[in-house]
Structures are given as C-alpha cells and as structure tokens.
Amino acid sequence: MDSHFNESANQNAPISFFAQHLKYLPKDWIVQEDKRISPKCNARKFSLWDQIVSLLFCHLAGCDSLREIEDGLISAVGKLQHLAAKAMGRTTLAYANEHRSHETVQKLYFRLLQTYKNLFRGHLDQDYLHPVYALDSTTISVCLSRFRWAHYRRAKGGFKLHTILDEDIQLPVVMNMTDGKRADVKEAKAAIEALGNKEITVVMDRGYNDYALFMWLTR
C-alpha cells in the first residue's frame, strides 16, 4: 500500500507543481483578451487559456514536440479540470499557434513582469549608480522549407533574438527578432532605445565592438 501511494504521489508531483504555477497567471485578463482577439483569428473552439496552459506545460515539462505536449496533457486531464483547462490535441495547438498573434503572449509576459518583478530584485541598484542591462543575441536554426522568411545561409534557415536582460531581476525586458543575417551591431541601437531610459549601464561582449555605437551610447 505504501509503495502504491508513493508511486502515485511521484506521478502527480510534476502536475501539482505545474498547477501551482498556473495560479499566478491573471486568468480573468486572459479570458477578456480571448474575447477580444478570437473573432479575428477564427479560434472560438479552443480558448486562449487552454493555449497558454499548453505552452507553459511544454517548457516546464521539457517537451520537444507537439505529440509530447499532447500526451502529457492527456495524462493530466483530471488535474487540468480543477483549473478550468482542457487538454489540446496537437493539431488544435498547431492551429492556435499559427493563427493567434504572438503579441498576446508578449502582453501577458510584460503584465506578469510588472506584477512580480519586485520579488526578483537582487538590489543591484545599491552597488551601481544606474540600472545595469546585458545585451546579447542568439541564432535559432529552423527548417528553411517551413520558414521561408528566415533567411540565414544558402541552405539553412535561422533567425536571431536580440535580447536585453535586466541584471537586477535576471529577466529579459527587450527581445527583438530579426532574420539570421542581421548584424548584432546594427540591431543594438534599436534594442537599447526600446528600454526608454537614457541613464543606464549596458554590458556587452566584443561582438558589439563598434566605435560609432560606443559614441552614441556615451552622448
């Protein structure tokens, strides 16, 4: 009996952990946002809340495919019902990801950032006169036949994420996406301007070694 109880508890532990995270999401706002955008994307059969739950499960469970997400959510149907969420099939999720704008997820992220950022502060402002940010980029490879806009090399697709990290809270505050050929130095100014704050300290590696950029930063 004890072994059966322990096995059951171990199986439910990851789902319970996932459910605890979902309680921090502004569900009422997500529902209202769903009502606003659903008629535009023809996605009334599945809710934005279900999509957000599926995407978060993908990251927390380390899923690498839509099938893994589908199988994982189906195994947790009972737990999801308590959160007023339902498991989405992989075809349904693929359709939602294609037709719902990424801007909705972006708005949700910054809403959560404003709500909880004080919990992550490391009091770095006590050591530095101005806020400290780290600027870097990463190239993400994709299949060129599926993502024809992501031109990178002759036979390879890819795009870049130019990211600015707030060093005090260790979370991104700017993420600009460009094609893979976009030079880091050329995108740096646009990313820094998105911060909307002139009194800052920016940390970057030597890939951004450009004296015109340095002159602009120190004006």
Domain count, the chain: 2
- Give the chain's residues under pLDDT 70: 1-15, 38-45, 77-83, 124-125
- For 80, the 3-state DSSP assignment is helix
Angle at 51 between CA 177 and CA 164, to 5 degrees: 25
Given 81, 106, 131, which residue is the final one in a domain? Answer: 106
With respect to residue 111, please indicate whether it lies within any of the assigned structural domains: no
My answer on whether 213 and 136 are in the same domain is yes
My answer on whether 90 and 9 are in the same domain is yes
With respect to residue 39, please indicate whether it lies within any of the assigned structural domains: yes
With respect to residue 116, please indicate whether it lies within any of the assigned structural domains: no
My answer on whether 203 and 180 are in the same domain is yes
Q: What is the pLDDT, as a whole number, of residue 100? A: 86
My answer on whether 136 and 162 are in the same domain is yes
Q: Is the pTM of this model over 0.85?
A: no
With respect to residue 13, please indicate whether it lies within any of the assigned structural domains: yes
Q: What is the pLDDT, as a whole number, of residue 77? A: 67
* Cβ–Cβ under 8 Å, residues 64 and 25: no
Residue 122: CB atoms within 10 Å: 11
My answer on whether 62 and 129 are in the same domain is no
My answer on whether 102 and 126 are in the same domain is no
My answer on whether 55 and 134 are in the same domain is no
Given 73, 106, 139, which residue is the final one in a domain? Answer: 106
Burial of 177 (0-12, 13-18, 19+ CB in 10 A): middle
Those residues whose C-beta lies under 8 Å from the C-beta of residue 17, and which sit 6 or more positions away, are 60
* Cβ–Cβ under 8 Å, residues 34 and 48: yes
Q: Please spell the DSSP secondary structure of 161-186, one letter per residue.
A: EEEEEETTTTEEEEEEEEETT--HHH
What mean pLDDT, rounded, does the chain reach? 83
Q: What is the pLDDT, as a whole number, of residue 163? A: 97
Residue 141 structural domain: 121-217
How far apart are the C-alpha atoms of 71 and 50, rounded to whole Å? 15
Residue 154 DSSP code? T
Phi and psi (nearest 5°) for 134?
-115, 130
Given 106, 135, 152, which residue is the final one in a domain? Answer: 106
With respect to residue 114, please indicate whether it lies within any of the assigned structural domains: no
With respect to residue 147, please indicate whether it lies within any of the assigned structural domains: yes
Q: Which of 168, 25, 14 is nearest to 107 (CA)?
A: 25
* Cβ–Cβ under 8 Å, residues 193 and 173: no
How far apart are the C-alpha atoms of 88 and 55, rounded to whole Å? 10
Q: What is the pLDDT, as a whole number, of residue 63? A: 87
Q: The dihedral of CA 143, 149, 154, 157: what is its sign?
A: negative
pLDDT digits over 31-88, tens only?
898 888 765 555 556 789 989 988 988 888 888 888 998 888 887 766 666 667 777 8
With respect to residue 189, please indicate whether it lies within any of the assigned structural domains: yes
My answer on whether 96 and 127 are in the same domain is no
My answer on whether 50 and 141 are in the same domain is no
My answer on whether 16 and 56 are in the same domain is yes
My answer on whether 100 and 17 are in the same domain is yes
* Cβ–Cβ under 8 Å, residues 51 and 93: yes
With respect to residue 206, please indicate whether it lies within any of the assigned structural domains: yes
My answer on whether 174 and 101 are in the same domain is no
